[in-house]
Amino acid sequence: MPVHLEFREKTAVLRFDNPPANSLNAEILVEFQSKLKELQLKIAADETRVVVITGTGTKFFIAGADISRFLELDSKGGYEIARQGQVIFEELSSLPCATIAAINGYALGGGLELALACDIRLASANALLGQPEINLGLIPGYGGTQRLTRLIGPGKAKELIYTGKNVSAEEALRIGIINQVVTEGELLDEALKLAESIAGKPPLALRAAKKAMDQGLEKTLVMGIEAEAKHFGDLFSTEDQKEGARAFLEKRKPQFKGI
């Protein structure tokens, strides 16, 4: 199976394993979508609160798509491939829990676009990130023109997409694509530590925070602020909010149950 899913306490680890470069194709995307549906059930049951996504090995996170298939595509086929990836990556982006991309090497094309659909990105020191589609006479097709622009701003995003150049982990950190650079060999451990820290927070509040921030990107500031107020108010009807306040006043660690 080229997409593996394992569960550790409240954290799920999803791993791409498609040698030699963990490249994406239609079949792997379908399997990935199936794993996302499994995750949705685990999240709904509060069995999973954080998802970590990585690749097998130390050289490749996901090195884009299977280019050999591009020679046989026409406009209709190209559109359908783009929409397949866009829909599935939106399902990833809208998971009602925290998602962390642990970028263990090359994250190019669709690989970077998948990482951009996650909430947080950690990368090993040897990672290389880029949207090289321009060199194939194409543009990013799995959301890269939109998510990269929203993340780092239009000026830098246009530079990367127009030139197709790859950037190192340190440069990706400097311009805001990733959150942290991790020593090679320690990436998954660091991602799991971060996941454990997040998983200990109240899940309903985390879900509301994610929804408020993501919805705000699609709205005016005034509309986003109003959505924030609604989510803030809704949380006062949860047991987790009462437990958090009581624990703070009683100077003890809260026990959040997701209710």
Lowest model confidence (mean pLDDT) among 4-18, 68-82, 107-121, 126-140:
68-82
For 37-67, letters b (16+ CB in 10 Å) and e give eebbebbeeeebbbbbbbbbbebbbbbbbee
Q: How confident is the model at residue 63 (pLDDT cuts 50, 70, 90)?
A: confident
Instruction: For residue range 6-16, list pLDDT tens digits in order.
Output: 999 999 999 99
User: From the candidates 113, 170, 186, 250, which is the catalytic residue?
Assistant: 113
What was the pLDDT predicted at 158?
Answer: 96
Residues 132, 233, single domain; the answer is no
Is 133 an annotated catalytic residue? yes
State the first-to-last Cα distance of the chain, in angstroms, to the nearest integer: 35
- CB distance 115 to 143 below 8 Å: no
pLDDT beyond 90 at 95: yes
Structural domain span for residue 209: 203-250
What was the pLDDT predicted at 240?
Answer: 87
Whichever domain contains 245, its CATH number is: 1.10.12
Instruction: For residue range 33-60, list pLDDT tens digits in order.
Output: 999 999 999 999 999 999 999 999 889 9
Residues 96, 224, single domain; the answer is no
Residues 124, 46, single domain; the answer is yes
Residues 57, 149, single domain; the answer is yes
Mean pLDDT, all residues of the chain: 92
Percentage of the chain modeled with pLDDT above 90 = 68
Q: How confident is the model at residue 248 (pLDDT cuts 50, 70, 90)?
A: confident
* The pair of three-digit structure tokens given for residue 175, joined into one six-digit string: 């311009």
Residues 73, 152, single domain; the answer is yes
The residue that leads in pLDDT, 205 or 228, is 205
What was the pLDDT predicted at 66?
Answer: 74
Helix H or strand E encompassing 53: strand 50-55
Is 243 an annotated catalytic residue? no
Residues 208, 172, single domain; the answer is no
The residue that leads in pLDDT, 106 or 225, is 106
Residues 125, 176, single domain; the answer is yes
- CB distance 177 to 29 below 8 Å: no
User: From the candidates 133, 171, 226, 243, which is the catalytic residue?
Assistant: 133
pLDDT beyond 90 at 219: no
Residues 149, 215, single domain; the answer is no
pTM for the full predicted model: 0.89
Residues 213, 189, single domain; the answer is no
Instruction: For residue range 157-189, list pLDDT tens digits in order.
Output: 999 999 999 999 999 999 999 999 999 899 999
Q: DSSP 3-state helix, strand, coil percentages of the chain (rounded to 5)?
A: 55, 20, 30
Residues 208, 127, single domain; the answer is no
The angle formed by the CA atoms of residues 154, 99 and 21, to the nearest 5 degrees, is 80
What was the pLDDT predicted at 164?
Answer: 94
Q: How confident is the model at residue 127 (pLDDT cuts 50, 70, 90)?
A: very high
Number of separate domains in the chain: 2
What was the pLDDT predicted at 239?
Answer: 85
For the sheet with 50-55, list strands across it.
3-8, 11-16, 50-55, 98-103, 120-124, 180-182
Whichever domain contains 194, its CATH number is: 3.90.226.10
What was the pLDDT predicted at 228?
Answer: 67
